Amino acid sequence: METLSEKMFERSKKVIPGGVNSPARAFSSVKMEPPFIKRGDGTYIFDEEDNRYIDFVGSWGPLILGHCDKDVVDGLHQVIKTGTSFGAPTAIEMKMAELMVDSLPNIDMVRMVNSGTEATMSAVRLAKAYTKRNKIIKFEGNYHGHSEGFLIKAGSGALTHGVPDSLGVPAEIAKHTLTASFNNLESVENIFKANPEEIAAVIVEPVAGNMGVIAMEDDFAKGLRQITDKYGTVLIFDEVMTGFRVGFKGAHELYPDIKPDITCYGKIIGGGLPVGAFGGKQQIMSLLAPIGPVYQAGTLSGNPLAMRAGYETLLKLRNNPQIYDKLDKLALRLEKGIREAAKLSDIDITVNRVGGMISMFFTDKEVKNFEDVSKADNEQFIAYFKEMLNSGVYLPPSQFESLFLNAKMDNEHIDFTIEKARDAFKKLTR
């Protein structure tokens, strides 16, 4: 018999391309149909049939406090009674910007937008204006949203669905995006040598999460700063995923000596509502309209609901730094448990982890860049994913994505997941 989710998917597909509003959630990557999610509660989500899953997707990163955190929900209730949007300056935008500027090194000013895509797109425009150059360097397998200049050898859904170069991106635009290999400084140096006066920005996910989790190696990070300084190029950290996730100060905590010129945010800073932001040095940010010549705008930018949800989330994270220790410990427990479980069944896996971000590749090789990622066995992943889902563990439907732990999780959730992984691995070997 057809499930409610199957019925809804059929219905949605008639009116929404592919039945989804973002390809990553279509589940075609794992050759199945997605459950429709009805509600969330703490660490769990429930589908239309009321099946309960431990949620390791967390809306793809924003829900570090889990679903329906009381402070976030209370804050939203207060806001909603007083109006949802004004298209005018508000106190909560000011407080949110102050909180970010006070908390984060390297951010003198910040501009709010509505998505990570808008943040990275605007950051690059700013870098191009600042340097009066047209080209950027991005890394193979890194994902910076879906604006034209970024859909070149991109990660996430673009990678999972095998369309790294989207149709509709004109060659004249694509030619300004040069791609280098992550954790391979030589590949960056070669591009600079060939285009010494042309590179406006290098944009990087400091901990890549969109080809699975891969951290920048220290020398690579240092080298990026040195080479961008040498050529007068803007260094952009895309912390849409890692911001307030791998530590309260995001990647700044992992690479304290590397000071990016612009940093992009999204996900966690909206507490589950649509948001993005980019910030950096005053001399660069001052180029933005209305004080400067770089136009950037948004009807709903800084809207009170997203700002309040984000503000409550950041306040809670700032006031409870033990959350990060907890996430780290839980993720370590998961990492060890998964490794042991795979070993029991002689399954080759490599687990990469940074704090509460973790991913697992079906390969026995070290995974340091996109080339390594592409050697992982996808058929095995698909079989594993299905087993886990059927056992009540909701993982991202691609091994090229990160799992996200949340603050409502505890050892019990992790041990349950490990037990289910052990069963799944056993079935893979049969």
Which of ligand LHPZP3FS, ligand PLP, none does 212 bind, CB closer than 5 to 8 A by kind?
none
DSSP result, 338-369 = HHHHHHHTT---EEEEETTEEEEESSSS---S
Per partner kind, with CB cut-offs from 5 to 8 A, the member of ligand LHPZP3FS, ligand PLP, none near residue 270 is none
Please report whether residue 401 would count as binding ligand PLP according to CB under 6 A: no
| Contact (CB, 8 A) for 387 and 421 | no
Q: Which does 401 bind (CB under 5 to 8 A by kind): ligand PLP, ligand LHPZP3FS, none?
A: ligand LHPZP3FS
Q: How far apart are CA 353 and CA 361, in angstroms?
A: 11
The answer to whether 241 contacts ligand PLP (rule: CB under 6 A) is yes
Residue type, 56: F
207 or 418: CB nearest ligand LHPZP3FS: 207
E-strand spans in 19-145?
Answer: 37-41, 44-47, 52-55, 109-113, 135-139
Give the whole-angstrom CA distance, residue 177 versus residue 198.
11
Binding string, 268-297, against ligand PLP, x = CB under 6 A? --------x---------------------
For tokens 């989804």, name the residue: 20
CB of 390 to ligand PLP, least distance (A): 27
Clarify whether 231 is annotated catalytic. Answer: no
Map the footprint of ligand LHPZP3FS across residues 170-199, applying CB under 6 A. Answer: none
Nearer to ligand LHPZP3FS, 61 or 272 (CB): 61
157 binds ligand LHPZP3FS per the rule CB under 6 A: yes
Quote the tokens at residue 296: 């950037």
Site string for ligand PLP, 126-145 (x = CB under 6 A): -----------------xxx
Q: What single-letter DSSP state applies at residue 67? A: B
CB of 418 to ligand PLP, least distance (A): 26
Site for ligand PLP in 105-124 (CB under 6 A): 115-117, 120
Task: Count interface residues toward ligand LHPZP3FS (CB under 6 A).
Answer: 11
Enumerate the β-bridge partners of residue 30. Answer: none
* Comparison of 213 and 421: residue with beta carbon closer to ligand PLP: 213
Cis peptide bond upstream of 293, omega within 30:
no
By beta-carbon proximity to ligand LHPZP3FS, the closer residue of 22 and 84 is 22
R_g of the chain computed on alpha carbons: 21
Residue 394 annotated among the catalytic residues of the structure:
no
Distance from chain centroid for Cα 107: 20
Joined together, the tokens standing for residue 159 give 């990678």
Nearest CA to 180 among 136, 120, 145, 240?
A: 136
Q: Are 28 and 16 in contact (CB under 8 A)?
A: no
Shorter beta-carbon distance to ligand LHPZP3FS: residue 60 or 384: 60
Q: Which of 9, 19, 24, 252 binds ligand LHPZP3FS (CB under 6 A)?
A: 24
Sign of the dihedral defined by the CA atoms of residues 194, 199, 202, 203, in that order: negative
Q: What's the sign of the alpha-carbon dihedral 41, 42, 46, 52? A: negative
Chain residues 186-205 in contact with ligand PLP, contact rule CB under 6 A = 205
Give contact residues for ligand PLP (rule: CB under 6 A).
115-117, 120, 143-145, 205, 209-210, 238, 240-241, 266, 276
Write out the catalytic residue numbers.
Answer: 143, 238, 267
